[in-house]
Structure 1
Amino acid sequence: MYIGIDVGTSLVKAAAFDGIGRELGVASRPLGLTLHGGVVEQDMEEVYGAVVAVLDEITARVPEPVELAGLTGQGDGVWLLDAEGRPVRPAASWMDGRANELVDQWLADGTFEAVFRRTGGAMFPGCPGPLLAWLDSHEPKSLDAAATALYCKDMVFHRLTGAPVTTEVSDASMPFLDPVSRTYDNRVVELLGLTHRRGLLAPVSDPAATAVALGEGLPAGTPIANGPYDLPACALGAGVTADGDGLLIVGTCLAALVGTAEVDLAGEPGGLYICTDRPGHWLRAMPAMVGTAALDWVLSTTGVTHEEVDGLLAGTPPGAHGVRVLPYFAPSGERAPFVEPRLRAELTGVCLESTPADLVRATCEGIGYAARHCLEAAGLTGTLAVCGGGTRSPAWTRLLADVLGRPLRVVEGEVGARGAVLAAAERHGVELDAGQWTRPTVVVEPDAGRASHYERGYAEHLARLDAARERVRD
Structure 2
Amino acid sequence: MQKYLLGIDNGGTMSKAALYDLEGKEVAVASCKTEMIMPAPGFTERNMNEMWQANVSAIKEVINKSGINSENIVGIATTGHGNGMYLVDKEGKPAYNGIISTDTRANDYVEKWYSDGTFEKVLPKTMQSIWAGQPVALLSWFKDNKPQILENTKWVFMCKDYIRYCLTGEAHAEITDISGTNLMNVKDVKYDNNLLQEFDIEDVLELLPPIKYSSEIFGYVTEEVAKLTGLKEGTPVAGGLFDIDSCAIATGIADEEKLCIVAGTWSINEYISKEPIVSKDLFMTSLYCMEGYWLTTEASPTSASNLEWFVSQFLGEEKNQGLEDNKSVYDYSNEYVESVSADEFNIIFLPFLFGTNVDVTAKSCFLGLNGWHTKAHILRAIYEGVVFCHKAHLDKLMAYRKAPKAIRIAGGAARSKVWVQIFADILQIPIEVTTSTELGTLGAAICAGIATNKFESYKDAANSMVEVAYTCYPNPDNKEVYDKKYSLYRETIDALSLLWDKFK
TM-score (normalizing by structure 2): 0.88
Q: Which runs of 4+ in 1 moved over 6 A?
A: none
Residues 320 and 362 in structure 1, CA contact (< 8 A), matched pair in contact too: no
| Aligned: 1:56 with 2:69 | no
Which residue pairs with 2:322 in the alignment? none
Residue deviations 1:298-334 (CA, integer Å, cap 9, x gap): 222322532211111112221572211111112xx33
Distance 1:144 1:313, change over 3 A: same
| Aligned: 1:455 with 2:483 | yes
Residues 20 and 436 in structure 1, CA contact (< 8 A), matched pair in contact too: yes
Moved more, 463-472 or 38-47: 463-472
- Structure 1 counterpart of 2:175, which letter? V
| Aligned: 1:403 with 2:426 | yes
Residues 446 and 461 in structure 2, CA contact (< 8 A), matched pair in contact too: no
Cα RMSD between the aligned structures? Answer: 1.9
Partners of 1:264 and 1:140 in 2: CA distance: 36
Moved more, 275-284 or 249-258: 275-284
Partners of 1:92 and 1:351 in 2: CA distance: 42
Partners of 2:377 and 2:469 in 1: CA distance: 30
Which residue pairs with 1:393 in the alignment? 416
Residue deviations 1:89-141 (CA, integer Å, cap 9, x gap): 11111001111222222222222333334311101111111111111111111
Which residue pairs with 1:29 in the alignment? 32
Residues 7 and 78 in structure 2, CA contact (< 8 A), matched pair in contact too: yes
| Aligned: 1:210 with 2:229 | no
Residue deviations 1:415-447 (CA, integer Å, cap 9, x gap): 121111111222222226421311111111111
Which residue pairs with 1:370 in the alignment? 389
Which residue pairs with 2:323 in the alignment? none
Which residue pairs with 1:179 in the alignment? 186
Offset at residue 281 of structure 1 (A)? 0.7
Gaps of 5+ in 1: none
Moved more, 458-467 or 253-262: 458-467
Offset at residue 151 of structure 1 (A)? 0.4
Gaps of 5+ in 2: 319-328
Moved more, 45-54 or 290-299: 290-299
Which residue pairs with 1:309 in the alignment? 333
Which residue pairs with 1:13 in the alignment? 16
1:258 is paired with a residue whose SS is strand
Partners of 2:123 and 2:496 in 1: CA distance: 24
Point out the structure with max Rg over C-alpha: 2
Partners of 1:190 and 1:176 in 2: CA distance: 11
Offset at residue 85 of structure 1 (A)? 1.6
- Structure 2 counterpart of 1:378, which letter? L
Number of aligned residue pairs: 467
Offset at residue 70 of structure 1 (A)? 1.8
- Structure 1 counterpart of 2:37, which letter? T
Distance 1:116 1:472, change over 3 A: farther
Offset at residue 473 of structure 1 (A)? 6.3
1:329 is paired with a residue whose SS is coil
Partners of 1:153 and 1:369 in 2: CA distance: 31
| Aligned: 1:289 with 2:308 | no
Residues 115 and 121 in structure 1, CA contact (< 8 A), matched pair in contact too: no
Offset at residue 471 of structure 1 (A)? 4.0
Which residue pairs with 2:466 in the alignment? 438
Counting aligned pairs with the same residue, the percent is 25
1:235 to 227, 230, 248: 248
Residues 180 and 280 in structure 1, CA contact (< 8 A), matched pair in contact too: no
TM-score (normalizing by structure 1): 0.93
Offset at residue 28 of structure 1 (A)? 0.9
1:147 is paired with a residue whose SS is strand
Moved more, 9-18 or 180-189: 180-189
2:133 is paired with a residue whose SS is coil
Offset at residue 469 of structure 1 (A)? 4.2
Moved more, 284-293 or 48-57: 284-293
Distance 1:430 1:12, change over 3 A: same
Distance 1:223 1:352, change over 3 A: same
Partners of 2:91 and 2:145 in 1: CA distance: 24
1:5 is paired with a residue whose SS is strand
Residues 212 and 239 in structure 2, CA contact (< 8 A), matched pair in contact too: no
Partners of 1:242 and 1:468 in 2: CA distance: 40
Residues 266 and 304 in structure 2, CA contact (< 8 A), matched pair in contact too: yes
